[in-house]
């Protein structure tokens, strides 16, 4: 058989002999394009073998283990890059030839090809084999499959030779990326693409894909060794190893770790250590891009994002997913509802399989305020359903950097994690952040901000900063705030998810990308942004944040203010708020029905509005009232007709608003009698439904009533009460109390 592989070894600049960027190639770090020829049948694939091949072929730019890199640097000096290239060839060849076992001895003709002396070649072989032993032992404990005895001796030939009584492996140059075993090479891949299309086809390095399975013996010492080999971290942060162990053992887990504590590394490492593909749901395309950039820097390109900005890359990524080439596939929650992606997932589930599903930024499922994402509410259920096969159910991980007790309860409820373990850090405290509150009069938010900016260092507003605005447009909109602040002198960047008024979408996306790049690369500067800028931002030197208006939740405040001080240095987090009446705010937030509150806010004179009424208006967009939701659910059920007959239906809902329709579809999905998703068309929203049947209208509506009773009897009042606790501390102007509350 023949096996095609490709990799490049990347060395840090401290290694003598390294020149240039590894991802662009250099004379000392050449691209590794080669193939193996084995003189016998392929070893039987198993989880241990599959995971090992994935680690060894995890990307086009592969980093050596720190110990091997150090040893090669001492032995070869300026030839370190070339030596490591051959180390990778040797290690992958040995792993492939022996099916994940290590031979008793290795022989080679490497010393006769004119690259290394005989002594150098012998040292390279010994070090390569020694470096594989910890990984082999760790994977044998994780996946202890029965296997044949260790091969006595393997002969690696770089000259096409063979020796009797040996397992002979021919290592040949000249393979181009994209070639399948035994096929002609179609040509080199386009450089820099992160879609995964340049990876070998057919699972890990061309070998038949192995179905996902749970690990049996998970030792933290083994995980630490693999962590250092792949990501070069010597130790886990609190909670990481425990959460990783739950996923590898095939169990659901909720992961609550503070911003910057390494939540992403948990599912990234788990994806490399389990057969199959991990499906990761992310709220923002910018966050997916950031994750892919980070993985690429770590030498991992078996990852892709299914975004909407590059259709061709999306098609390539989807094809790589179906082949089983990806360790990680990032998607938006809305992508889970598209028919083409659902069909692709079903094919993957029947074939190479999914290792697990992860919902990142899982607090987004708690349906708060104007950032309400109906697609996120059903993301856990849909992801698990799409990833699970007929005979297996994949584990589900929910990750968040902050959650109040009520929000955590809602998150576990919506994602179906009631019985899952929750791994939480001992504390969410960020001692480097200093919270401050400034109360202002009506329409005084921007004026108060300008005074703070003028004070500069005295107010803690020196260095790069972000101003979080409650809207895109309007007086407190990010676009208007950026324009007003720019008049003070200098350019103020602007970032919004929705296109501001007066802009074409494509033009705004180009302008926004320019603003984001300029701000992230600058050592100073100011960004006016909506909450769309709140996640996936890795600029460690942000020195301050300012919230214009009352934050919409404790989660919003923690997430957005937490973008500051990521380098561990002191940072200031301001809240500028206007609350007209403390007694009125308490009454609105602590008592009364949604219907009464809606009527009072609708009749409120413009001059009586304040930050609390604004926050409540956004809150009521998510919770319009039980009667309204009941009517919306009944509209869908009557449009379906006979509910007792199982079927798949596609209903045009012209004239219906998309948001209420999505919310009603989610409520009906929670009854357990149907699955529904809302898609777009030129004629209006389209409802796609899979009806299980066996229930009548009265029975389904009874289940809807029970669901709404929970929502409006427990969840909605709890959200309002939580907002009151935030407003109360802002009314007191007590920044230290805010900090203590956020650290609980």
Contact between 168 and 39 under an 8 Å Cβ cutoff? The reply is yes
* Closest to 181 in 3D by CA, of 42, 321, 345, 363: 42
Q: How far is CA 576 from the centre of its chain?
A: 31
Q: pLDDT at position 181, please?
A: 31
Same domain? For 162 and 231 the reply is no
* Sheet hosting strand 253-256, strand order edge to edge: 303-306, 328-331, 277-281, 354-359, 396-400, 253-256, 421-424
Number of domains in the chain: 4
Whether the CB-CB separation of 701 and 637 falls below 8 Å is answered with yes
pLDDT > 70 fraction of the chain, expressed in percent and rounded: 84
pLDDT for position 537 = 65
Residue 265 has a pLDDT of 93
Distance CA(34)–CA(17), nearest Å, equals 23
- Same structural domain for residues 107 and 180? yes
Whether residue 466 is found in the same domain as residue 534: yes
Which of these, 108, 199, 216, 111, lies nearest to 155 by C-alpha position?
108
Are 54 and 172 within one domain?
Answer: yes
DSSP-assigned letter for residue 45: P
Instruction: Write down the pLDDT at residue 128.
Output: 94
In a domain, 301, yes or no: yes
Distance CA 203, CA 182 (A): 16
Sequential DSSP letters for 52-63:
HHHHHTS-SSEE
For residue 315, is it within any domain? yes
The answer to whether residue 732 is domain-embedded is no
Find tokens 């044949």 and name the residue: 148
Assess whether 250 and 311 both reside in one domain. yes
Q: Is residue 539 included in any domain, yes or no?
A: yes
Kindly give, in sequence order, each residue whose CB lies less than 8 Å from that of residue 677, ignoring residues fewer than 6 positions away.
Answer: 337, 382, 665, 687, 688
Same domain, 393 and 444: no
Centroid of chain to Cα 136:
29
With CA atoms as reference, report the closest residue to 283 among 383, 361, 351: 361
* pLDDT attached to residue 174: 41
Which 8-state DSSP code applies to residue 2?
A: E
Q: Which of 424, 441, 460 is the last residue of a domain?
A: 424
Q: Is residue 494 part of a domain?
A: yes
Assigned token pair, 244: 């990783």
**Do 332 and 386 lie in a common domain?**
yes
Q: Does one domain contain both 415 and 496?
A: no
Span 410-462, pLDDT tens digits: 778 778 887 888 888 777 778 899 999 999 987 689 999 999 998 888 888 88
Structure tokens at 556: 């919003």
Helix (H, G, I), strand (E, B) or coil at 193: coil
Task: Please check whether residue 605 lies inside any domain of the structure.
Answer: no
Residues of the chain with pLDDT under 70: 1-44, 60-62, 146-148, 173-209, 259-261, 307-310, 366-374, 403-407, 443, 534-537, 744
> The tokens 């942060």 sit on which residue?
237
Q: Which residue, of 159, 184, 209, is where some domain finishes?
A: 184
DSSP class of 457:
G
Which two structure tokens, joined as six digits, stand for 647?
């079927």
Residue 2 β-bridge partners: 37
| Cα–Cα distance for residue pair 661/655, rounded to 1 Å | 11
Residue 662 pLDDT:
84
pLDDT of residue 261: 67
Tokens at residue 60, please?
């086009």
Q: Based on the domain organization, do 158 and 240 belong to the same domain?
A: no
3-state secondary structure of 107: strand
Instruction: Please check whether residues 260 and 393 belong to one and the same domain.
Output: yes
CB 663 within 8 A of CB 671: no
Do the domain assignments include residue 600?
no
User: What pLDDT shows up at residue 310?
Assistant: 64
Domain that holds residue 30: 2-184
Residue showing tokens 């990783």: 244
By the 10 Å C-beta count (0-12 exposed, 13-18 middle, 19+ buried), 257 is classed as buried
Strands 354-359 and 277-281, bridge-based pairing: parallel
| 363/404 Cα distance (integer angstroms) | 9
379 shares a domain with 525: no
Whole-model pTM: value is 0.79
Same domain, 54 and 155: yes
> Final residue of a domain: which of 424, 458, 475?
424
172-189 tens-digit pLDDT: 764 322 222 333 333 333
The answer to whether the CB of 660 falls within 8 A of the CB of 616 is no
Instruction: Determine, yes or no, domain membership for 724.
Output: no
- Domain CATH number, residue 313: 3.40.50.300
């Amino acid at each position: 058989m023949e096996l095609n592989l490709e990799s490049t070894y990347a060395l840090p600049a401290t290694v003598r002999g390294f020149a240039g960027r590894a991802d662009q190639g250099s004379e000392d770090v050449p691209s590794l394009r080669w193939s193996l020829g084995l003189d016998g049948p392929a070893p039987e694939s198993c989880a241990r073998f599959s995971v090992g091949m994935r680690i060894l072929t995890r990307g086009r730019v592969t980093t050596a283990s720190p110990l091997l890199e150090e040893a090669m640097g001492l032995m070869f000096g300026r030839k370190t890059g070339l030596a490591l290239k051959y180390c990778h060839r040797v290690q992958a060849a040995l792993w492939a030839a022996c099916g994940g076992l290590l031979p008793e001895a290795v022989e080679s003709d490497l010393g006769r090809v004119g690259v290394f002396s005989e002594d150098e070649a012998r040292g390279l072989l010994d070090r390569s084999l020694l470096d594989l032993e910890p990984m082999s032992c760790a994977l044998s404990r994780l996946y202890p499959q029965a296997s044949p005895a260790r091969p006595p001796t393997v002969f690696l030939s770089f000259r096409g030779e063979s020796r009797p009584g040996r397992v002979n492996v021919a290592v040949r140059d000249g393979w181009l990326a994209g070639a399948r075993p035994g096929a002609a090479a179609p040509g080199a891949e386009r450089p820099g693409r992160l879609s995964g299309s340049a990876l070998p086809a057919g699972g890990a390095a061309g070998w038949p894909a192995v179905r996902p399975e749970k690990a049996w013996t998970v030792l933290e010492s083994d995980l630490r060794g693999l962590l250092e080999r792949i990501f070069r971290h010597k130790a886990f942060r609190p909670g990481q190893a425990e959460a990783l162990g739950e996923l590898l053992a095939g169990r659901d887990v909720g992961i609550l770790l503070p911003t910057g504590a390494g939540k992403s590394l948990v599912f990234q490492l788990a994806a490399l250590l389990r057969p199959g593909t991990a499906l990761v749901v992310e709220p923002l395309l910018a966050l997916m891009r950031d994750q892919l950039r980070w993985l690429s820097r770590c030498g991992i390109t078996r990852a892709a994002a299914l975004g909407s900005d590059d259709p061709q890359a999306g098609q390539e990524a989807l094809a790589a997913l179906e082949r089983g080439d990806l360790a990680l596939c990032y998607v938006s929650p809305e992508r889970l509802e598209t028919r083409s992606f659902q069909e692709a997932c079903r094919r993957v589930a029947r074939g190479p399989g999914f290792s697990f599903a992860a919902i990142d930024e899982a607090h987004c499922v708690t349906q708060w305020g104007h950032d309400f994402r109906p697609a996120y509410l059903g993301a856990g259920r849909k992801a698990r359903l799409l990833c699970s096969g007929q005979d297996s159910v994949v584990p589900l991980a929910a990750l968040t950097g902050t959650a109040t007790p009520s929000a955590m309860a809602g998150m576990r409820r919506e994602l179906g994690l009631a019985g899952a373990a929750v791994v939480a850090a001992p504390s969410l405290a960020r001692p480097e952040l200093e919270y401050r509150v400034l109360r202002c009069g009506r329409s005084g938010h921007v004026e108060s901000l300008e005074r703070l900016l003028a004070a500069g260092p005295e107010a803690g507003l020196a260095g790069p900063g972000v101003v979080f605005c409650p809207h895109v447009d309007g007086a407190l909109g990010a676009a208007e705030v950026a324009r007003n602040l720019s008049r003070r002198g200098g350019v103020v960047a602007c970032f919004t998810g929705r296109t501001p008024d007066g802009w074409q979408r494509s033009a705004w996306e180009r302008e926004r990308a320019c603003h984001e790049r300029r701000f992230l690369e600058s050592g100073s500067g100011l960004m006016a942004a909506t909450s769309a800028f709140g996640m996936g931002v890795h600029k460690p030197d942000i020195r301050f944040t300012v919230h214009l208006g009352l934050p919409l939740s404790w989660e919003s405040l923690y997430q957005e203010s937490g973008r500051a001080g990521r380098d561990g240095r002191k940072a200031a987090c301001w809240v500028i708020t206007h609350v007209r009446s403390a007694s009125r705010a308490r009454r609105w937030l602590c008592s009364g029905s949604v219907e009464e509150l809606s009527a009072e806010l609708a009749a409120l004179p413009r001059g009586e509005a304040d930050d609390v009424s604004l926050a409540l208006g956004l809150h009521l967009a998510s919770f319009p009232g039980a009667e309204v939701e009941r009517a919306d659910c009944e509209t869908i059920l009557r449009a379906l007709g006979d509910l007792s007959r199982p079927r798949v239906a596609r209903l045009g809902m012209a004239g219906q608003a998309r948001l209420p329709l999505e919310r009603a579809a989610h409520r009906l999905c929670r009854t357990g009698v149907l699955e529904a998703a809302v898609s777009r068309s030129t004629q209006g929203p389209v409802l796609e439904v899979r009806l299980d049947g066996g229930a009548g209208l009265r029975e389904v509506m009874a289940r809807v009533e029970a669901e709404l009773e929970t929502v409006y009897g427990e969840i909605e009042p709890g959200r309002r009460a939580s907002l009151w606790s935030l407003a109360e501390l802002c009314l007191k102007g007590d920044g230290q109390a805010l900090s203590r509350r956020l650290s609980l």
